[in-house]
Chain A
Amino acid sequence: MSASVTVPPTAAAPRSPKSAGRPSGRRAPKGIRKSEGIAGWLFTAPMLIILGLFLVVPVLMALWVSFSDWSGRGSPFASGVNFVGLDNYDELLAGGGLAERDFGVALRNNAWYVLLVVPIQTALSLFLAVLVNRQVLKGRGFFRTAFYFPSVTSSVAITVLWLFLFGASGAVNKVLSWFGVNGPNWFQDPSGVVHNLLATVGITQGPAWMTENTTLGVSWWDWWAGPSVAMSAFVLMAVFTTSGTFMLLFIAALQNLGGDVQEAAMIDGANGWQRFWRVTLPQLRPTLFTVLTLGLIGTWQVFDQIYTGTQGGPGKTTVTPAYLSYTSAFESQDWGRGAAIAFVLFVIIVVLTIIQRIVLRDRPVSKRRMRAYSIASSQTANKEGRP
């Protein structure tokens, strides 16, 4: 078994004083290595086959389809299917036709959704975690359960419920009416929230430079429409269903923080507000990063809610790229375009994740501050150091 000692990077190796003391009569190091090799491949084979067959192969196949004119009949590798190069992508990104406009609208809808959902759910889940994490709080378990429960339920069930709550004379509008607010007919209202806000100050028409210039077939003025009222209801739903999950991540992180830094800050006279922003939050950076990344990836893939709830309506204002990809392929039978949309979406998600990683990376501590730290730590080390 001395063989395993020669492989230091494995987790098992550092614990091998025992194996070193193994009876030398058993001369099987080679045999064990060999059988471990076979076992390793056997153990991982089911995973490799399934992931390969239903993840890697599909992605490659779809990549081919996105460069082809396959119509959905027969095999995409049949002789009648032609390679059309970047045609499908070109049509989407610079075609000038309906395909480009639909894609532009879908991107607009989803971008506003991401822009609202990610910050709100992150802030709310952190807020809930801080509230619920207090040691003295009675009924912590109850509150955690209440906040987390929406996260375990199916998005289909929640969407059905949401359609009812946000109906024209539904529960939400009833509650709003107590405050004298005349609620909109949520899921039937295609008007953009930002446009509506501008309309309250009398701006109903964009300036010429905004209405005349277009990106992806959508005028700049329409890009600034904001999420439609219908989409806003989905924004609220996303916050409702995901804040619980992220709250758990933050709670876990908060519990891992040592109390001593807090204590030190307390002794230094920092108040609660300062301690949260200057001490707690910086320590939560890795979790914050995880939550933002997961949020970003998740919110760019909105599909279930749209499929169940609005099918893209009203006025295409809840069409998302994911849903558009699905309808292009399965309903319009334009498989090449559907696959192309999926890959553009993939690229968007990857690029945004990288950008976010760069923005949130750990910045190197400045030299001056570093010196201050090293002095401080050497002092504490001297104090605590065992003689």
Chain B
Amino acid sequence: MSAATSTLSPATPTAAGGAPEQPRRRRSGRFIASTSLLYAILVVIAIIYIFPFLIDVATSFKSDAEAASDPLSLIPQTWTTAAYERLFLNSDFPTWFANSAVVTVFVTIGRVFLASLAGYALARLDFRGRNVIFAGLVAVMSVPLVVLLIPKFLVINQLGIYDSYAGMIIPLLVDAAGVFIMKNFFESIPASVEEQARIDGAGTFRIFWSVVLPMARPALITIVILSFQGSWNELSHFIVSTQSPELTTLTKGVASLASGQLSQGTQYPLKLAAAAIMTVPVAVMFFIFQRRIMNASEGAVKE
């Protein structure tokens, strides 16, 4: 890549009058060569990144024997939907899916609302203790999540919400990083609009709800994406907050599948079908908001 750009630089102004043809041809030859090298590298890497997912989907339609004997081919010799039938008709998979969906919806709604509420207060409202709260938030963000595995269980247990939807959802409702993103966003929009509303006599919540929040759509979408993805893919929290089979989520259920429950032998088509299905919602989300996701991390890191 660097070679390609460097060929652009030695454009000598004196050559323009003399023999312009020769250098240009040589230069374009090198340019084409380096460009095709660039594309070749990119295509090879892209294949490495995409191919595993294609194998995943292809293998889920194979028979067990074929999955073992021919793990690379993308077209099954005999198509079978046995794995999917087994998952949907003969296992707890639908329950897992429903649980994940319920948790994800509530967590996403909760996070969007609470993060924007707190973010707005930290960015715009002038109140005693604001700086302390903000410092606390930054400190909290630096606690590694893994440290919380055991203690979260302890608190959930003490509060009597172990093994319930409340225990699964409430602890996930606030995400410090989300508050941070919203705060940064609110600081970037001009305050004049709110002041106009304030002159008109609107209360603080009213201003927040009907004036500020509609302007914050890009940041809200970012939070929706992050929360959806985060709660759909969450595993460790559900391990420590639930034990009954009726409350198993997709991540927990598929993890138990992977370690050999429900199945005799390897049963790769079954496991890979489960993995493929649990990828679909995030994949759909990803492709809908693709543009936004590609810019989301910029907003998150800007300080």
B301 near A161: Cβ-Cβ < 8 Å: no
Residues on A with C-beta less than 8 A from B198 are 1, 32
Contact A240 B272 (CB under 8 A): no
Asked whether any CB of chain B lies closer than 8 Å to the CB of A374, the reply is: no
Q: Which listed segment binds A: B17-25, B82-90, B168-176, B213-221? A: B168-176
Q: Quick one: CB contact mask for B266-291 with A, threshold 8 Å, 1 for yes?
A: 10100110111011001101100010
Contact in complex: B259, A308 (CB < 8 Å): yes
In the complex, how many angstroms separate the beta carbon of A146 from the nearest chain B beta carbon?
A: 4
Q: How far is the CB of B18 from chain A (nearest CB, A)?
A: 21
Interface of B is mostly: helix
B301 touches A252 (CB 8 A): yes
For the complex, count residues of A whose C-beta is within 8 A of B.
116
State how many residues of chain B have any CB contact under 8 Å with chain A.
111
Contact of B154 among A58, A142, A171 (CB under 8 A): A58
- Tell me, yes or no, whether A322 is within 8 Å of chain B by CB: yes
Give the docked Cα–Cα distance between A35 and B204 (Å): 8
Determine the chain B residues whose CB is within 8 A of the CB of A39 once the complex forms. 121, 125, 127, 204-205
B2 and A301 form a contact (CB under 8 A): no
Decide if A58 touches B155 in the complex (CB within 8 Å). Answer: yes
Interface centre among B9, B150, B239, B250 (most CB of A within 10 A): B150
A residues 220-254 with Cβ under 8 Å of B?
Answer: 240, 244-245, 248-249, 252
State whether the Cβ of B190 lies closer than 8 Å to any Cβ in chain A.
Answer: yes
Q: How far is the CB of B189 from chain A (nearest CB, A)?
A: 10
Proximity bits, A332-346, B CB within 8 Å = 1, else 0? 000100110011011
Interface residues of A in 63-81 (CB under 8 A from B): 65, 75-76
Q: How far is the CA of A161 from the CA of B118 in the complex (A)?
A: 39
Q: Produce 1/0 per residue, A65-108, CB < 8 A to B.
A: 10000000001100000000000000000000000000000000
Chain A residues with CB below 8 A from B195, complex form: 1, 18-19
Cβ 8 A contact of A164, one of B59, B123, B278, B295: B59
* A54-B155 CB under 8 A given contacts A59-B143, A345-B146: yes
- Once A164-B59, A345-B146 are accepted as A-B contacts, the answer to whether A149 and B286 lie under 8 Å apart by CB is yes
Find A152's partner among B49, B205, B286 (CB 8 Å cutoff). Answer: B286
Please tell me which one of the listed residues B72, B121, B133, B295 contacts residue A175 in the complex, with CB atoms under 8 A apart.
Answer: B72
